[in-house]
């Protein structure tokens, strides 16, 4: 049974007919909006086949309950793991993880669940090593906004005034400190810095 237009509107979503408006034939949205021409039926068939192949290969990405992911995040956090560490390892934005863990987000994509469930405690322990690439991207964004590296090193509590920008790996602890610094400066001083390098799930 399809979702009614009123229900979609209540959720802040556009009806399928509105989304399909202006789309050419051969687009699955046109098929969902009611068109049954050859091109639109072919587009729908291709979509169904692709979903079937993805499902058989274990790469299905449908919407599922968030319960398993929520329980796993809470288990990791209960052992003293910083949720930012989970965000850094998975590439899933911390606010998104917060909403899952807090029960505010009830349903998520299957790939999100698989990514979260694959995280082990060893991966997110404070001294675990990860690539420094994403962390230095945050540093560079702040440098571009006018912060010099010496000042950033002081923010991070480094004894040296040098940031080791050529390091290929850093610890989870260091990565979390850089993420925390970036988020704090972005919020209080530079609202235009942009999205975190770990954002987007």
pLDDT above 50 for 160:
yes
Helix axes 67-78, 110-117, angle to 10 degrees: 30
Considering its fold, how many domains does the chain have in total? 3
Q: What is the pTM of this model?
A: 0.60
pLDDT single digits (tens) 26-38: 888 888 889 999 8
pLDDT of residue 13: 58
In a domain, 86, yes or no: yes
Looking at residue 161, the DSSP 8-state letter turns out to be S
CB 142 within 8 A of CB 180: no
Token duo for residue 42: 């072919």
pLDDT of residue 66: 95
Of the three residues 106, 122, 138, the one that is the final residue of a domain is 122
pLDDT single digits (tens) 113-127: 999 999 999 999 989
Phi, psi of 50 (to 5 degrees): -65, -40
Token duo for residue 137: 């991207």
Instruction: Give the residue-averaged pLDDT of 102-117.
Output: 94
Token duo for residue 44: 């729908």
In a domain, 176, yes or no: yes
Looking at residue 133, the DSSP 8-state letter turns out to be H
In a domain, 74, yes or no: yes
Paired residues of 101 in beta bridges:
none
The average confidence (pLDDT) of the chain is 81
pLDDT of residue 162: 65
Domain that holds residue 24: 5-56
Regarding whether 179 and 135 lie in a shared domain, the answer is: yes
In a domain, 91, yes or no: yes
Work out the widest C-alpha separation in the chain, in whole angstroms.
69
CB 172 within 8 A of CB 128: yes
In a domain, 193, yes or no: no
């Amino acid at each position: 049974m399809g979702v009614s237009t009123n229900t979609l509107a209540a959720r802040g979503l556009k009806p399928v007919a509105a989304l399909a408006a202006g789309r050419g034939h051969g687009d699955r949205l046109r098929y969902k909006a009611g068109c049954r021409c050859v091109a639109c039926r072919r587009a729908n068939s291709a979509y169904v086949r692709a979903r079937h192949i993805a499902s058989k290969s274990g790469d299905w990405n449908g919407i599922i309950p968030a319960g398993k992911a929520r329980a796993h995040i809470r288990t990791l956090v209960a052992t003293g793991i910083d949720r930012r560490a989970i965000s850094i390892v998975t590439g899933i934005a911390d606010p998104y993880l917060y909403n899952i863990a807090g029960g505010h987000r009830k349903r998520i994509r299957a790939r999100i669940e698989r990514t979260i469930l694959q995280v082990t405690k060893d991966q997110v322990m404070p001294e675990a090593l990860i690539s420094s690439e994403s962390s230095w991207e945050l540093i560079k964004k702040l440098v571009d906004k006018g912060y010099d590296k010496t000042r950033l090193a002081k923010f991070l509590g480094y004894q040296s005034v040098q940031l080791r920008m050529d390091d290929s790996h850093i610890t989870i602890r260091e990565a979390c400190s850089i993420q925390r610094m970036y988020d704090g400066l972005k919020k209080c001083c530079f609202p235009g810095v942009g999205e975190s390098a770990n954002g987007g799930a």
